[in-house]
Structure 1
Amino acid sequence: MESHSTIEIVPLSPEHRQGITNLLMGSFFLQEPLNAMLQFEIPHEPMAWVDHIVDGSIRDQCSFVAIDTTTPYKNIVGVILNGISDRTQKQDEFVIPSEKLNFIFSLIDKVSDGHDLFELYKTDRLFHCDVINIDENQRGHNLSVRLITTSLNKARQLGIKGAFVVCTSLFSRKAFLRQGFEVVNEILYSEHGNGRLTDMGIHDRCTLLGTKL
């Protein structure tokens, strides 16, 4: 457990599920630039995917939450949902019922296509960050840095040699670049967004970043 001021970083556990869901529905799916542009119907449209990603994060036991210890119910004010990919094991297929989420994942597939990170980092296991989200009232206090640092330390403890993330906004891209990640590939929304993402401002690209651990 890591402590700083009144915010504690602790490993994700099943008891955090509802708090994480509330945070993602009230923050991530409303305010993350790509999600905000697509305008999800909250909560039902992304719910199946949220359940799926939280299940996977609990199973892999390498994700973390930030808890405000001053609140009566120890509110979750930040989360990083991570996973581990193993080249020797077949990944479970998950059918995403939301057209908007399928569109986002098509962009992730495009930016990732042709880049074998297992080969790049000479490993059979890769650590990946799927979601990082901070409550808007806690932004600017280095919570993203603490969550990413704690996650990468966990990956190293597990003997994992490489990590990657796909960032859909400038803010998340900057956060991971500051932690030593490098750009592997990027695509512009104006060229690959099928006309749906023509006014993204500073959040104009989807970026695949990676780092050797």
Structure 2
Amino acid sequence: MDAKFNSIVKSEKKENSYSIIPISTNEKPDVAEFLRKFFFCDEPLNVAIKLLEEKESTQKLEDYCIDYLRYGLTLMAVSQSGDIMGVILNNIMRREDCKINGNENGDETENCSKFKDIVVLLDKIKGEANLFTRYPNVNRVMEIKIVAVNEVYRGQGVCKALVDKTKELALKMECQMIYVECTSHFSAKAVERLGFQCIYSLAYQDYKNGQGEVVFSTHLPHTCAKVLVLPLLVERKSTDHLPTLFKDFNKNRKYLLFKDSTLNYSGKMEVSSKYLFNVEPITQSDRQEVISFLRKFFYRDEPLIIALNIMDDVEAMSKFEDYCNKLLNEELSLKAVNPNGDIIGVILNGIKCKLIKNDDDIEDNTKFQEIKSLLRKIDQEANVFGLYPNVCRLIEIDIVSVDFAYRGRGVCQALFEKTKDLAIKQKCSMIYVECSSYFSAKAAEKLGYHCIYTMFYKDYVNNKGEEIFKPPSPHNYSKVYVSPI
């Protein structure tokens, strides 16, 4: 990669044809190297506090940037020879997520003092800009986190192309606005030229520590941080007129998504189109593909897995996958697939009966046993059959996972709706779900599920009185929800 980038730096400035393409996880090393060369060294806040001199903060900054690749919303400009010319890292910001207190990195910045200084400033800026109070009708926003362009290609429209494609992506994701925090004078000027409006500004000389000292003494012309927004017009259409699709369910419906086009850029923005996705039963032939999907989109997000670092424990992960395979054996699980046949979401279900005890909990010495023990305790204390003595048979949602790029687009709701249809066919009188994630709990509430039990992780301790699960914020508890049928 060094030779590749050096050849770019030495080339003469001239017009270049290029493509804007999504960044895949395979390109993490190349993107990280690009950011080191063309973002970390130029960013005014990094320069002001000499962040790159602190190894822990530098690594944390790199991890922070690369982590956004997993959401599938990041793009890069690539020359005909395959060189990266620029990157843009994006994320979806939702009203309900911004009600959560605390910074997005939690306590992880404690040993990275310089990076923590930046995080605290950005939290203050986001809080005082107060986007969702300013725009009470806006609920979903595309946030541009980082834009960086190779210095050789600056002033040649690369930044504009990246923002244009982000706008197109935002429309497909049904975002009502694009939001960006600009810590650089030049980045603020660039987005202002693209029609963004400034809604907040903070002069660096006014941002001081407890001793009254200016925290960020940035170089001119970088005198302030700005928040700029670009409102979007999002068209929503009813799907009631669409033809039926599912023969195996009582309620037949197709589901509408925005098409995720190739995002190739040739100077013209493509017109976004729409298509339907299907919800289908998971078959035995799907098993390996489903497990691969879970590895990519569920294991890395699940709060209990993160809390125990189970991803680093091969034996524990093997036990967890055995558990998932057992659920698939019940043939009650569903998948959402796009027209290309790609899985974009899964829901793994099982039957729970009042008079049949679940005896599959064979003790083992792995970390996964800790999760099973917690779930068993939650199940016992929730006591669903005690609360609802007339319920004898219910369908239990064990796992729900949606591809990062499709979250917030109705996939989870469709999977829940089809599970309800399935529950009716299976003569179940209730749907039951244990939510270990803050976000899955919120999703269940939005769908009308009723909470019957809550356990705070801080209250679940071992024999020494130590907390067993310390998942990252906002995952502070596990909840049990039900929906009578």
TM over 0.5: yes
Distance (Å, rounded) in 1 between the aligned partners of 2:472 and 2:410: 25
Change in CA separation of 1:91 and 1:192 when aligned onto 2, cut-off 3 Å: closer
Which residue identity is paired with 1:54?
A: N
The residue number in structure 1 matching 2:469 is 197
The residue number in structure 1 matching 2:344 is 77
TM-score by length of 2: 0.40
CA RMSD in angstroms comes to 2.2
The residue number in structure 2 matching 1:131 is 399
Q: Which moved more, 1:95-104 or 1:130-139?
A: 95-104
| Alignment match of 1:178 (pick from 446, 452, 455) | 446
The residue number in structure 2 matching 1:58 is 329
Structure 2 unmatched ranges of 5 or more: 1-245, 247-252, 256-274
Q: Are the equivalent residues in 1 in contact too, given 2:307–2:469 (CA < 8 A)? A: yes
The residue number in structure 1 matching 2:176 is none
Task: Give the Å deviation of 1:90.
Answer: 4.1
Task: Give the Å deviation of 1:96.
Answer: 5.7
Task: Give the Å deviation of 1:186.
Answer: 0.6
Aligned residue pairs total 209
Q: Are the equivalent residues in 2 in contact too, given 1:28–1:35 (CA < 8 A)? A: no
Distance (Å, rounded) in 2 between the aligned partners of 1:15 and 1:64: 13
Q: What per-residue deviation string (whole Å, max 9, x for no partner) do you get for residues 108-160 of structure 1?
A: 22323244322433122121001001111221211111101110121022221
Does residue 159 in structure 1 map to residue 427 in structure 2?
yes
Task: Give the Å deviation of 1:42.
Answer: 6.6
Q: What per-residue deviation string (whole Å, max 9, x for no partner) do you get for residues 85-114 of structure 1?
A: 122334342426463222122222232324
Q: Which moved more, 1:123-132 or 1:87-96?
A: 87-96
SS of structure 1 residue aligned to 2:254: strand
Distance (Å, rounded) in 2 between the aligned partners of 1:139 and 1:44: 30
Q: What is the percentage of aligned positions where both structures have the same residue?
A: 23
Which residue identity is paired with 1:100?
A: K
Change in CA separation of 1:113 and 1:92 when aligned onto 2, cut-off 3 Å: closer
SS of structure 2 residue aligned to 1:165: strand
TM-score by length of 1: 0.87
Which residue identity is paired with 1:21?
A: I
Change in CA separation of 1:16 and 1:156 when aligned onto 2, cut-off 3 Å: same
Q: What per-residue deviation string (whole Å, max 9, x for no partner) do you get for residues 144-188 of structure 1?
A: 111011101210222211221110011110111122211111111
Q: Are the equivalent residues in 2 in contact too, given 1:32–1:169 (CA < 8 A)? A: yes
Pick the structure with greater CA Rg: 2
Q: Are the equivalent residues in 2 in contact too, given 1:81–1:131 (CA < 8 A)? A: yes
Distance (Å, rounded) in 2 between the aligned partners of 1:48 and 1:197: 19
Alignment of 1:87-166 (within 5 A): 87-95=354-362, 97=364, 99-121=366-388, 122-166=390-434
Change in CA separation of 1:42 and 1:7 when aligned onto 2, cut-off 3 Å: farther
Does residue 209 in structure 1 map to residue 481 in structure 2?
yes
Q: Are the equivalent residues in 2 in contact too, given 1:78–1:143 (CA < 8 A)? A: yes
Task: Give the Å deviation of 1:199.
Answer: 5.6
Q: Which has the higher contact order (CA 8 A, sep 6+)?
A: 1
| Alignment match of 1:3 (pick from 254, 257, 266) | 254
Q: Are the equivalent residues in 2 in contact too, given 1:112–1:185 (CA < 8 A)? A: no
Q: Where in structure 1 do 4 or more consecutive aligned residues deviate above 6 Å?
A: none
SS of structure 2 residue aligned to 1:171: helix
Distance (Å, rounded) in 1 between the aligned partners of 2:426 and 2:382: 24
